[in-house]
Structure 1
Amino acid sequence: MSAETIFAFDFGVKRIGIAMGNTLIRQAQPIKVISAVDNATRFAAIAALLEEWQPGLLVVGLPLHPDGAEHEMTARCRKFANQLHGRFNLPVELVDERYSSAVIGGQRGEVIDDRAAAIILQQYFDTH
């Protein structure tokens, strides 16, 4: 059995955190934060990473209220996941990310999006 690379995304309006791991080791590691306000720049940066790493699966964190209810960012993340699938023709799975940023507990102003993506991917590994 060969190891498959998996990417995870912590989507935000201003930044997207990205982590990677593989199905053999099953450990996530943060790799990059993309800071871009327009879709063309965002997806160009993502395309370059996908070309380099050739993942077989993409995982997107799905933010929800503590009670599980959806909110505005939930819809935006679903749209981002659909765009990833449509642009890159890769399977995309959504993972509940309700407490990923809280687990990290970064300092005020610190960019933690890539570490949040690693938490999201680790949650995926731990449940699949």
Structure 2
Amino acid sequence: MATGRVMALDVGKARIGVALSDPLGYTAQPLLTIWRKGRGEDLRSLMRLIRRHEVTEIVVGNPLHMSGDVSPWAAKVQEFAEEIGARSGVAVHLWDERLSSVAAHEILDEAGHDRRDRKRIIDQVAAVVILRDWMQAREDGRVQQERGEAM
């Protein structure tokens, strides 16, 4: 069982969706959307959130191609994830996020949320999907507890 909060990030070119687990690692909730201003400022904002919410692990959505190959954007996200880990000292796990945005749109459709007003929350919901899927995989034993790697 996890102690401390797990943060999930859906890193996009314009926005970063952020979600948090409860302290026991059972549920995932949307936190906020960071509108990107530059690498340094984005990292400072994330470091503040990590400290404020006592984050012990971070899951970063890994935007692979549907084939499973590393996309150019995935390479940039992986580099960003490494920097977050180095700066924060917190374990960072990459998690395959293919179709997380599709799932996020489906969740918002089911909730009756207007498609024209999604930009401010879609990334948060995608981060919730990433975190929920990662926590379920960990519970199912598909993620190793010590290193957090997908098996």
Q: TM-score, length-normalised on structure 1?
A: 0.91
Structure 1 residues 2 and 86 mapped into 2: Cα distance closer, same or farther (>3 Å)?
closer
After TM superposition, which residue ranges in structure 1, 4 or more long, deviate above 4 angstroms?
none
Q: Does the aligned pair in 2 maintain the 1:3–1:22 contact within 8 Å?
A: no
Aligned to 1:8: 8
- The 5-angstrom pairing of residues 35-74 of structure 1 reads 35-74=35-74
Q: What is the distance in 1 between the residues matched to 2:32 and 2:83?
A: 19
Largest Rg, 1 or 2: 2
Partner SS for 1:32: strand
- Give the 5 Å matches for 1:99-110: 99-105=99-105, 107-108=115-116, 110=118
Cα distance, 1:31 vs structure 2: 0.2
Structure 1 residues not aligned, in runs of 5+: none
Tell me, yes or no, if the aligned pair for 1:63 and 1:98 is still in contact at 8 Å: yes
TM-superposition CA deviations, 1:68-90 (whole Å, max 9, x none): 12211110110111010111111
The one-letter amino acid paired with 2:20 is M
TM-score (normalizing by structure 2): 0.78
Q: Percent identity?
A: 30
- Letter of the structure 2 residue corresponding to residue 127 of structure 1: A
**Which residue of the partner structure matches residue 21 of structure 1?**
21
Q: Which has the higher contact order (CA 8 A, sep 6+)?
A: 1
Instruction: Give the stretch that moved more between structures: 37-46 or 58-67.
Output: 37-46
2:58–2:93 contact (8 Å) kept in structure 1: yes
- 1:52 offset after TM fit, Å? 0.8
- Which structure 2 residue ranges, 5 or more long, are not aligned? 109-114, 139-151
Aligned mates of 2:76, 2:29 — CA distance in 1? 24
Give the direction of change, closer, same or farther, for the CA distance of 1:23–1:14 in structure 2 (3 Å limit): same
